[in-house]
Amino acid sequence: MIKTAEEFLEKSDEKAFDLSHRKTINYNIGKYNVAVERGLSKFENLEASKKKAHVIKWRVMENLDKFLPEFESNFQRRGGKVIWANDAAEAQREILNIIKKNNGKSVIKSKSMTTEEIHLNEFLESNQIESLESDLGEYIVQLLGQPPYHIVTPAMHLSATDIAQLFHDKFGTPLDATPPQLVQKARELLREKYLNADIGISGGNFLIADTGSIALTENEGNARLSTTFPKIHIAIVGIEKVIPSMTDLDLFWPLLASHGTGQNLTVYNTILSGPRQADETDGPEEMYVILLDNGRTNLLAQKDQRQGLYCIRCGACLNACPVYKNIGGHTYNTTYSGPIGSVITPHLKGMEEFKHLSYASSLCGKCSEVCPVKIDIHKMLLLNRRDAATAHENGKTEEMGWNMFNKMMQKRKWMDFFGGRFKNFMLKTFFKKSWGKYREMPKVADKSFAKQWEELKKSKES
């Protein structure tokens, strides 16, 4: 468990001082900031929209036991099938069963963080089933054998030169190929896969309870192709993605687009309400929705922190976070990185192993400020720290240290009992490593302020 935290510190140290990485990430986030500022200006009253979205998500989380069955019932009414998965292993098994039942050999996937969460590509490949990402960013990181770097922009850490080099190595395209030429090459490679894939797999941006539909939003059209051509469509969606009504998309789609990419609305917005109906010309013969828990009910049980489930995965908090901008997405070693990942991961994957992420924050509050559904992210991070301490997850040495510090700070005689030299010795001996090799230890004065003040008064009196 300690190893995960140690790896995080090592990777953070490496990435924070990688100048080429810093240059690329600052350039890409800089472009994002310009676009988002323009996109947010289109809202007549942005604050009112965010408050309304927060209240809707609050109502959903307080009544999840009503909205999810409502979605299930309405989706099944149109011929869809709903599967409830408690964890990643169960979701994997259910997907494999569907594929085997239909003699599937190949899968085409649209962009989905839930499939990343359950490590679907690796699982399918281990079962001799080809699984190909169709989103360009996801396709690029899949070619590199990497996980997504960012919730919205999987290849944000790569420059145009890096991608040109990758395509040259993999497909023999010219090293000086332009972005449009690289996109054209990807289109040529992927188009055949859409036509021949046995199974299409997607995520879902929202589950609509009153119509039993899933809503997908994208910019490339790959989700539409992935869910239309194959005979079987499987959507894997977290249980927290449900919203009450179709009319709520009028609020959530613009909020997601403007905070995610700076657009008024993304290019392709699709609502799917089950398999192909008798009067329809296209669509899958069968459609499944897998409702994924995978630790979400653990977070739901935390009354103070269940706000973390309001997240609509726009990625705004990542782009605003000074820590993320320095250490990058891969350093977190989790599906969901940045501030929101630091909030939810300890609950989804275990506080003991991932509590360190809640300490990887400056608590500047920028993440809470930019959140489109007004999640109090920096407060959630503090609550995670509280829970880790309450559950004695921080280790005996740290607990003893804080207990001693607490006692000393509460009584002046204990503060003054040890002189400055002893305190400096303790700091250098026990805290130098945790303080960091790039920072100098603070130096404690030989005499306390109270002692110096007392001596000053005596000298004046004499």
Predicted confidence (pLDDT) per residue in 143-164, tens digit? 999 999 999 999 999 999 999 9
Q: If pLDDT is split at 50, 70 and 90, which confidence band does 443 have?
A: confident
Between CA 181 and CA 375 the distance in angstroms is 40
Dihedral (CA of 413, 419, 420, 424) sign: negative
Between CA 433 and CA 146 the distance in angstroms is 31
pLDDT at 422: 80
pLDDT at 434: 74
- Least confident range of 122-136, 183-197, 371-385: 183-197
pLDDT at 78: 95
- Least confident range of 65-79, 114-128, 254-268, 441-455: 441-455
Q: If pLDDT is split at 50, 70 and 90, which confidence band does 220 have?
A: very high
What digits encode the pLDDT tens for the residues 78-131? 999 999 999 999 999 999 999 999 999 999 999 999 999 999 999 999 999 999
Residue 223 in tokens: 């989700």
Residue 15 reports pLDDT greater than 80: yes
Between CA 382 and CA 249 the distance in angstroms is 32
Residue 398 reports pLDDT greater than 90: no
Q: Where are the domains of the chain?
A: 42-294, 405-461
Query: Against a cut of 0.85, is the pTM above it?
Result: yes
- Least confident range of 2-16, 59-73, 242-256, 445-459: 445-459
pLDDT at 247: 97
- Least confident range of 181-195, 294-308, 371-385, 390-404: 390-404
pLDDT at 408: 76
Residue 425 reports pLDDT greater than 80: yes
Find all residues with CB under 8 Å of 34, minimum gap 6, and list them. Answer: 262
pLDDT at 132: 95
Residue 1 reports pLDDT greater than 70: no
Residue predicted with more confidence, 335 or 431: 335
Place of tokens 């869809």: 80
Mean pLDDT across the stretch 272-285? 92
pLDDT at 312: 97
Mean pLDDT across the stretch 205-221? 96
Between CA 296 and CA 424 the distance in angstroms is 45
pLDDT at 129: 96
Q: Are 63 and 194 in contact (CB under 8 A)?
A: no
Mean pLDDT of the chain: 92
- Least confident range of 194-203, 247-256, 380-389, 428-437: 428-437
- Least confident range of 79-83, 202-206, 430-434: 430-434
Distance of CA 162 to the CA centre of its chain: 24
- Least confident range of 330-339, 363-372, 397-406: 397-406
Distance of CA 384 to the CA centre of its chain: 17
Q: Minimal CA–CA distance to 109: which of 147, 70, 138, 80?
A: 138
Residue 341 reports pLDDT greater than 80: yes
- Least confident range of 269-278, 430-439, 446-455: 430-439
pLDDT at 171: 94
Helices within 63-144 (DSSP H only):
64-77, 88-101, 113-117, 120-126, 136-144
Residue 402 reports pLDDT greater than 80: no
pLDDT at 2: 59
Residue 238 in tokens: 């977290």
Task: Indicate the class that CATH gives domain 42-294.
Answer: alpha beta
pLDDT at 332: 96
